Amino acid sequence: MTVDEILKAVGATDEEIKNAPAWAKAAVAKSLTESETTLTAARAAQEAAELAKRAQETMYQTEIVPALDRWSNDWSNEKAALEAERDFYKNQNANAKTAGFIPKDAPVFGTPKGPDARDPKTGTFIPNANPVPGSPAITDQNVDRIISTLTDVPAFYNDYHALYGQPFQGDIKQLLEEARIQRVAPNEYLSRKFDFAKKRQEATDAAQKKRDDKLVADALEKNNKEWAEKTGSNGNLRPAQPSAYSKINKAVESKQRHNPIMMSDEQRRLATRQRIHQEIAEKEAGVGA
C-alpha cells in the first residue's frame, strides 16, 4: 500500500493528498517501510516455525507411530497368549474335579513385597518391578505421548482464549480422541481445527492497521495544529512573534502591497492562499535539502 492509498483510506480527499506537506508524507512513508520490515521478519519467523513443525511431523510418522503400532501388536499378542493359557488351566481344573481330584486353592496375587518391589539398599519403591500380567507397563513411548498431551492441552487453552477472547467450552477429550484416530499430534490437530493461523494473522493485521491509523491521525493533527497557530482566527493560539507593523506600513506607503484594512474579502482570501502556498513551498524546499 502506498502513502497516497493510506491517506485516502483515512478519508483524505485527492486535493488534500496532493497539497499535503512533504514532511507528513515522509513520516507516513517511514512508518510504511518499518511496517514492511516487521512483516518480513514475521514471515521469516513463520517459515522457521513451519520447518520445525515439518521436522516434528516427520519424527511423529517415522518413529512415534511405528513404535505405537509395535506396542499395540505386542500387547494384543501377549493378551491372546495369556487368555489361551488361562482357558487351558481352567479346563484342566474342571477335568480334574470331574475325575475326583480336589485341587488346591489358587494363589492370591496381591501387592508385591520384598526385594522385587523395593531397593534393598535404599528401601525406596522400584517402579514397574512386578507389573500385573496382561497390563501394559509404562514405557518410554507411552511417557512421550503422555508428556506431549500434557503440554499441548494447556497451550491450546491459552491460544484459544487469546485468539477468540473467551475460554474454550468444548469437549477436549473428544478432540484428543479425534487427533489420535487421525494419527496427528494434538497441537497440530487443534490448531488446524480452530484455524489458529488465520486468527493470528487477523490479529496482526488489526494491530498494524491501528498503528497506521494512529500515525496518519497524528500527522494530520500536527499539521492542523500548525496551521491553526499560524492562520487561525483564535489569536490565543498563535505563538508570540515580533510586530510586522512597521514593515507592512512601509510597504503600503510605497504601494508594494495592499492596505490590509482596506482590502476586500476576496483580496484577503487571495492573500491568504498565496501565503499558504508560499509556506508550503518553503517547507518542501527545506525537506528536499
| Tens-place pLDDT, residues 209-229 | 999 999 999 998 888 887 777
| Cα angle 270, 20, 40; round to 5 | 175
> Using the 8-state DSSP alphabet, how is residue 125 labeled?
B
* Consecutive H or E run containing 193: helix 186-193
Q: What does the pLDDT average to over 103-108?
A: 58
Residue 113 reports pLDDT greater than 60: no
Q: Is 71 exposed, middle or buried (0-12, 13-18, 19+ CB in 10 A)?
A: middle
pLDDT of residue 181: 86
How far is Cα 45 from Cα 33, in angstroms, rounded to an integer? 19
Distances (CA, A) of 193 to 156, 190, 196: 11, 5, 8
pLDDT one-digit tens code per residue, 9-28: 666 677 776 666 777 667 66
Residue showing cell 519403591: 125
| Residue 153 pLDDT level (bands cut at 50, 70, 90) | confident
Q: What does the pLDDT look like over 165-195, one tens digit per residue?
A: 888 888 888 888 888 888 888 888 888 889 9
Task: Work out the pLDDT band at 114, boundaries 50, 70, 90.
Answer: very low
pLDDT of residue 149 exceeding 50: yes
Please state the rounded mean pLDDT for residues 60-87: 85
Q: Domain ranges in the chain? A: 107-137
pLDDT at 138 over 80: no
CA 36 to chain centre: 18
- The yes-or-no verdict on residue 66 having pLDDT over 90 is no
